[in-house]
Amino acid sequence: MTFALVEGATLFVAVCGTSFVWGRPLLLDCLDVAAILGQVTAISSSCIVAFYYNDLYDLRVIRSVSAFAPRLLQSFGVALILLAAFYWLFPETRVAEGAFLSSLVVVLGLLLPLRAIGYSIMRHRAFADRVLILGTGSLARTLIQEIDARPHFRYEIVGVADDGQAVDDPPLRYPLLGPLQHLAKIAEEARVARIIVAMSERRGRMPMAQLLEAEARGILIEDGLRTYEYFTKKLAIETLTPSLLLFSGSFRTPKVQAGLRRLLNLAFAAAGLVFTAPLMALIALAVKLDSPGPALFVQERVGLGGRHFRLLKFRTMVVSAETRSEWVQDNEQRITRVGRWLRKYRLDELPQLVNILRGDMNLVGPRPHPVSNFSVFAERIPYYVLRSSVRPGVTGWAQIRQGYANNLEEEIEKMRYDLYYIRHSSLWFDLHILVDTVKIVMFGWGSHSAEIFRVETPVQART
């Protein structure tokens, strides 16, 4: 976020300055000033959108200047396309060609040094908090991995306080500084600024008095579960306590917000059906011509409150009476030519706009699972029934972060993201998910992953 704000402001100032220096516009009144600012905003916005869709602001992907530079050049190409479309719609906002090219040169000359400085600051130990991890179990080890993968979060692990819970596990990457009983001494000698409590078993083992003393001395005390949530944007369901969910109030949506979100979903679905009707007619025709069988695939799935509903999709597989498994990877050879293209760009999901109008789904939410999978997952995945506390969605947080699941382990990973979405559900969060979904659809990412659903049989295809 910091990079986005700094670079966005730099873009605007650089383009604005170049436009004034090169074009030397006559500013006779407020309308002239507004026109210039509109031109500058168009260029800056095109660049920012292009940067976002090329992951330049995702520091998990772009972790060095060497990775940033080639993507920056690629992003300018996308920005030019966006700007050309904007100028086609609003030709009066077009700036002089010389001013535009000069702006790009100036921006390129500024962004590379700015990003290099940013990476240097991010990795400099003087700006990082010295962190002590309490615990040696699975949560502690996962947190260490997540912290190491995100140097831009400015957490520097100095060591681990041993809780005696992981005797047989592989050695930790960081030194064991001593047992929990000596926490006060460890914290003082290591000069820690944060203590993250990541103990798998806390009852009767937490050094509460020493933690309170450390907090009184200005050391930040963090719950490992919340730190994990902050870093990964998902919940650690294996070590999650029911009380954390029960008393968090995360599953109560205000009625006004719920009503507003429902109205927006209905409006979007209605508009979407109107604008995509010609496209859906062509897709239905292509599906019918490509392989025998119905154009639509209809299946019973589990929705809000555990209620069943009939989900609509364009058929993407050859109809077969043989049921091999619940996973698409076992039926890859049955995907049709048109179906493969539809899956790549998620166009097979368009009929679910009807499901939104019916009240079965929202635009954003956990993906609905087949009825046949519900009882199995409820037995094997912790807190699985909580997915039914919200309406399922055409797209969702787990979909854009994890993609499609193809085994139980991957489905558990998606559940971590689904719980995070339910816990932090809001209009702004939905907007974030929709923006990221557009990026996935535009580039066709994740199309080779497999979604869990019932194999399409002749009976199901006709229902």
pLDDT tens for each residue of 423-443: 898 888 999 999 888 887 776
The pLDDT value recorded for residue 450 is 38
CA angle 289, 292, 298 (to 5 degrees): 105
CA 114 to chain centre: 26
| Least confident interval from 105-109, 352-356, 382-386 | 105-109
The pLDDT value recorded for residue 453 is 37
Mean predicted lDDT score pLDDT of the chain: 83
Locate 294 and state its tokens.
């119905």
What are 168's strand-pairing partners?
none
Helix (H) or strand (E) holding 156: strand 155-162
Residue 134, pLDDT above cutoff 90: yes
Locate 243 and state its tokens.
């009380």
Domain residue spans in the chain? 2-123, 125-232, 255-462
Q: Provide the total of helices (H) and of strands (E) in the chain, helices listed first.
A: 17, 9
The pLDDT value recorded for residue 157 is 93
| Residue 456 binned pLDDT confidence (cut-offs 50, 70, 90) | very low
| Residue 248 binned pLDDT confidence (cut-offs 50, 70, 90) | low
Torsional sign, CA 404, 318, 277, 344:
positive
Mean pLDDT computed over 104-109 = 76
Second CATH level (architecture) for the domain 125-232: 3-Layer(aba) Sandwich (3.40)
> In this predicted model, what pLDDT tens digit does every residue of 258-292 receive, in sequence order?
889 999 999 999 999 999 999 999 999 999 999 99
Percent of the chain scored above 70 by pLDDT? 84
Return all residues near 97 (Cβ < 8 A) that are at least 6 apart: none
Residue 111, pLDDT above cutoff 90: no
CA 317 to chain centre: 28
Helix/strand/coil for 430: helix
| Residue 322 binned pLDDT confidence (cut-offs 50, 70, 90) | low
The pLDDT value recorded for residue 285 is 96
Return all residues near 275 (Cβ < 8 A) that are at least 6 apart: none
The pLDDT value recorded for residue 13 is 81
Which of these, 210, 205, 163, 153, lies nearest to 187 by C-alpha position? 210
> In this predicted model, what pLDDT tens digit does every residue of 136-195 receive, in sequence order?
888 899 999 989 888 778 899 999 998 776 655 677 889 999 988 899 999 999 999 999
Locate 304 and state its tokens.
């809000």
Integer-rounded Cα radius of gyration of the chain:
26
Cβ atoms of 311 and 299 within 8 Å: the answer is yes
Phi and psi torsions of 365, nearest 5°? 165, 175
Helix/strand/coil for 209: helix
